[in-house]
Amino acid sequence: MTLLAVRGLEVHYGGIQAVRGIDFEVAEGELVCLIEANGAGKSSALKGLMGLVHHAGEIRFAGERLDGRPTHAIAALGLALVPEGRGIFGRLTVAENLDMGAYTRRDRAGVRADLERVYDLFPRLAERRDQLAGTLSGGEQQMLAMGRAMMARPRLLLLDEPSMGLAPLMVQKIYQTVATIAREGVTILLVEQNAHLALQVSQRGYVMESGNLALAGSSDRLAGDPAVRAAYLGE
């Protein structure tokens, strides 16, 4: 079943058009990647989905129109964004940040169970639950941002550049967790500049160039495409 369907998505920043009328879909249970060598198009697409920037086009989630809705209403429908730069609350503790992720929920027993699940996924967060989030390392902050999003129990998890600025070992840990979350049935749309990682973990992918969609297909096919290998995989 198609969970997310996007038609003609455009995002403008003043006179600059970052996203140029793209179409894409994500089926329930899929992990789909959106890759781009550089530029702001792929991250702008996620911001458009969440209503964080002015945009045009049609966005449907589980059959409902998202375009024109405020961000809090979109989040309440089951979308959660892990933003580029993490966006954690530095003056709150780890536990308080995670609690913020569940602010729309009233099922306290379910929230407690999900909190334990987050701590299982990220044991380092459990060790630092009373520590101020702003004092965490970059990798720990990325774990916290992902954990906070998972506390919303999203139907669609949007990940924006989760590997950015992290050491290789931490990137490996983050992507192992992404794969685990996907295996548990969470639908994921992954935006990533590191095409190697994105194509390894996803089932399908879209390639953006200068705000346009240039290619689409299975991740295996894209990884073997000569143009993708030359432009994005350094071969």
Question: Is the dihedral angle over the CA atoms 144, 2, 231, 43 positive or is it negative?
Answer: negative
With a pLDDT cut of 90, the percent of the chain lying above it is 87
User: In the structure, what pLDDT confidence band is assigned to residue 194 with cuts at 50, 70 and 90?
Assistant: confident
pLDDT confidence of residue 230: 84
pLDDT confidence of residue 15: 86
Residue located via tokens 């969440």:
50
User: In the structure, what pLDDT confidence band is assigned to residue 46 with cuts at 50, 70 and 90?
Assistant: very high
> Smallest Cα–Cα separation from 161: which of 26, 79, 45, 14?
45
Q: Which value, to the nearest 10 degrees, does the dihedral of the CA atoms of residues 102, 103, 108, 109 take?
A: -10
What value does the mean pLDDT take over residues 107-117? 96
Helix (H) or strand (E) holding 160: strand 156-160
Q: Determine the Cα–Cα distance for residues 1 and 185; give it in Å rounded to an integer.
A: 13
Q: Determine the Cα–Cα distance for residues 85 and 170; give it in Å rounded to an integer.
A: 15
Q: Determine the Cα–Cα distance for residues 190 and 61; give it in Å rounded to an integer.
A: 16
> Smallest Cα–Cα separation from 98: which of 79, 110, 120, 114?
114
Specify whether domain 1-78+155-164+187-235 bears CATH 3.30.160.100.
no
User: In the structure, what pLDDT confidence band is assigned to residue 100 with cuts at 50, 70 and 90?
Assistant: very high
3-state DSSP assignment of residue 24: strand
